[in-house]
Structure 1
Amino acid sequence: MAYIDAYVLPLPLANLAAYRKMARMGGKIWMEHGALQYVECIAEDVKPGKTTSFPQAVKLKEGETVIFSYIVFKSRAHRDKVNKLAMDDPRMHAWGPHNMPFDGKRLFWGGFKPLVQR
């Protein structure tokens, strides 16, 4: 059964081009190392909630939008292998805490195993 890593982060709209460039490279790296699918999504219909929401989860500020992305793997073991290869890839060293196009402190992510899959 598949395994999925999901990410949610705030992105300043002014950094959209830089993020798209980074995401394209990230997708290329993950797919080359064996990921089954790599998807980056930008918020379109995401409203603040009364109790919780995507904007609240990332402490969205004016001039920012929410990014949701996910990577699909064969299994958790496959995810661990692919993520290690991707993170060790020299092309990944172009980005770090000093030059990310978003606030990494407000990013959250996790690994998920499907509950229902069709």
Structure 2
Amino acid sequence: MAYIDMFVAPIAPGNKEAFTKFSKICHEVLIDCGALSVLDAWDDDVPEGDITSFRKAVQASADEVVTAGWIIWPDKATRDTGMEKMMSDPRMNDANPMPFDGKRMIFGGFNPIVETPAQA
């Protein structure tokens, strides 16, 4: 079964174009490093929770939106070597800076336990 990395990060709405550019380069690098699929998403219906929420988790200010994404890998071993390759890839240098505060990004790797594909 696949292995999945996920992230949530706050970003200024004015950085959507920069985030899109950053994401496209990251996707290319990640696919080259063995990822099966990569997706980044932009805040559309992300409410502020009373106790917990995506917004609270990343300390998003009132003038920020939340982005989320995931990377699907064939397995954890491919992910581990792929992430190492990504970090040393020249496309991931200062010419492609993260357009958000990486200190407030939450991320992690997950082993799927139930998967239900749609029927064709």
TM range (shorter): over 0.9
Q: Deviations over 1:56-89 (max 9, x none)?
A: 1111112210000000001111100111111111
TM-score by length of 1: 0.93
Q: Give the C-alpha shift of residue 95 in structure 1.
A: 5.5
- CA deviation after TM superposition for structure 1 residue 45, in Å: 1.1
Kindly report which structure 2 residues correspond to 1:15-54, keeping only aligned pairs within 5 A, or say none.
Answer: 15-54=15-54
Note the residue ranges of structure 1 that are not aligned, 5 or more in a row: none
Query: How do 1:74-85 and structure 2 match up within 5 A?
Result: 74-85=74-85
**Residues matched between the structures, number:** 116
User: Structure 2 stretches of 5 or more lacking a match?
Assistant: none
Cα distance change, pair 101–36 in 1 and its aligned pair in 2 (3 A): same
RMSD: 1.3
- What is the identity percentage for the equivalent residue pairs of Structure 1 and Structure 2? 38
| TM-score normalised according to structure 2 size | 0.91
What is the distance in 2 between the residues matched to 1:15 and 1:42?
11
Structure-2 residue corresponding to 1:100:
98
How many Å separate the matches in 2 of 1:51 and 1:63?
20
Report the Cα distance in structure 2 between the residues aligned to 1:9 and 1:40, rounded to whole angstroms: 11
How far apart, in 2, do the equivalents of 1:22 and 1:94 lie?
11
Amino acid at match of 2:109: G
**CA separation in 2, counterparts of 1:41 and 1:63?**
18
